[in-house]
Amino acid sequence: MRATTSQTHGRRLRGDSLSFAETIGQSIANIAPTLTPAINVSVVVGLAGIGAWLSYLIATVGLIFVATNIGVLARRHQVAGSYFVYIGRILGPLLGMLAGWSMIAAYLFTAIAVSISAHIFLSALLRALGLGVLTPPYAPFEIVFIFLIWACSYSDIRLSSRMGLGLEALSLTIIVLIAAVVLANRGSVVDSTQLDLKHLPMGGVISALTFAVFSFVGFESSATLAREARNPLRAIPRAVILSATISGLFFVLISYCMILGVGDQARLIGDSPSPFAEVTRQAGLTWATAVVYFSAIISAFACGLASINAVARMLFSMGRYEFMHRSMGMVHEQHQTPHFAVTVSCLCTVMVVLMCSRLAPLNAFGYTATFGTFGFLVVYLAGYRAMPSLVAALRTRDTQFTRIRQGVDASERAA
């Protein structure tokens, strides 16, 4: 796995430009925590019922272990390709290539899914305001939505990182404030039914784990910005672990509070296409429904932007290593972004989104989100497989491993 050093690809990404807040903002925006209470949690609650919070807790613990593994790899390799390079250097180029393609598919279909969800939320917002007739047609809306993502991602990684973090922070603040009002109306935060472990549907809790994991996907995406972050060998591991931990705690608490808010009638959430809006209606906060949809649109844009940033840097890294066309490794002379990879990512996104126009919106969201989740799970499992090999190489000071790693590092510095 040797990076090309041709003059065409000699320009670098904007190094040492992202603060820790901007770096972790990439992961937080890619996770899009607001979308979990807005739409994702309904599947988890539908399976786990009042045990949804426990499903999220188990998923959080498991993904913290995954995040710790990523942190170990990120401390060894300061590269834009994240798992593509991590696994390729340890398990070989073929598995590295497969990991790279899996991550590209995962990030790409995440961008597709959230773009579809944005139109769903906008339609619901306008209906809540009594303006349903003003809902824009699907295709024009999606083209404009993805064009705005392209414009932000193309221009400057600092701009897109700050925008993603700011938008997600705003939408999370809205959700947390509304949840606090719901709990205040309930008068208590203790729910003996949910906390009685003996009566939780444990079969459903386990069945819901796959869907609980989907709420986390993208937590590792800050690793794709290793070439652009300040002090990446320290910042990237911290960003990955903290984003998984913070988001997991949020999911546990918000799922608990949502079921508490509907009086333990979990089916109201499990059967609803907009579960958090259902919680606000049950609490008599009809005014908050439109606000929830608005925050979900903001979060969808932030997640789409983070996903395009991540997939573009995966394409960039694979282009530099010539695992795909070398044009993917091009860097814009002024903006210092992988502009060609960004453009290709957005074109692929808009094409698939438009192809989904004949499907029911919720079905289109479900299919694309599920496909993206499988891509993440494949690579997470490969990361576990890579760790024993890395540890063995470090303990025995394997000369071949050291020679390959140093050779690639030298070629990257030359590039």
- CATH top class, domain 12-402: mainly alpha
Distance of alpha carbon 44 from alpha carbon 257, whole angstroms: 14
Give the model's pLDDT for residue 138: 93
Q: Choose among 103, 294, 300, 305: nearest CA to 217.
A: 103
For residue 39, give every residue at least 6 positions away whose Cβ sits within 8 Å of its Cβ, in sequence order, or none: 117, 120, 273, 274, 275, 296, 365
Q: Which residue type, as a one-letter code, is found at position 249?
A: L
DSSP annotation of 40 reads I
Distance of alpha carbon 78 from alpha carbon 412, whole angstroms: 10
Contact at 8 Å (CB) between 259 and 45? Answer: yes
Q: What is the mean pLDDT of each run of 10 residues along the chain (415 residues)?
A: 45 70 85 84 87 93 86 68 68 79 90 93 88 90 95 81 82 86 80 84 88 83 79 85 92 90 81 81 80 87 90 85 76 79 94 92 85 80 59 47 48 49
Give the model's pLDDT for residue 397: 43
Contact at 8 Å (CB) between 22 and 166? Answer: no
Contact at 8 Å (CB) between 243 and 207? Answer: no
pTM of the model: 0.81
Give the model's pLDDT for residue 408: 46
Going from the C-alpha of 406 to that of each of 76, 132, 265, 412, the distances in angstroms are 11, 60, 58, 10
Q: Which residue type, as a one-letter code, is found at position 74?
A: A
Q: Choose among 306, 310, 309, 330: nearest CA to 319.
A: 330
Q: Kindly list the domain boundaries of the chain, sorted by start residue.
A: 12-402
Give the model's pLDDT for residue 115: 94
Distance of alpha carbon 262 from alpha carbon 410, whole angstroms: 58
Q: What is the DSSP string of 190-248?
A: --HHHH-GGGS-HHHHHHTHHHHHHTTTTTTGGGGGTTTBSSHHHHHHHHHHHHHHHHH
Contact at 8 Å (CB) between 405 and 393? Answer: no
Give the model's pLDDT for residue 351: 96
User: For residue 363, is it left (φ>0), alpha (ψ between -120 and 50) or beta?
Assistant: alpha
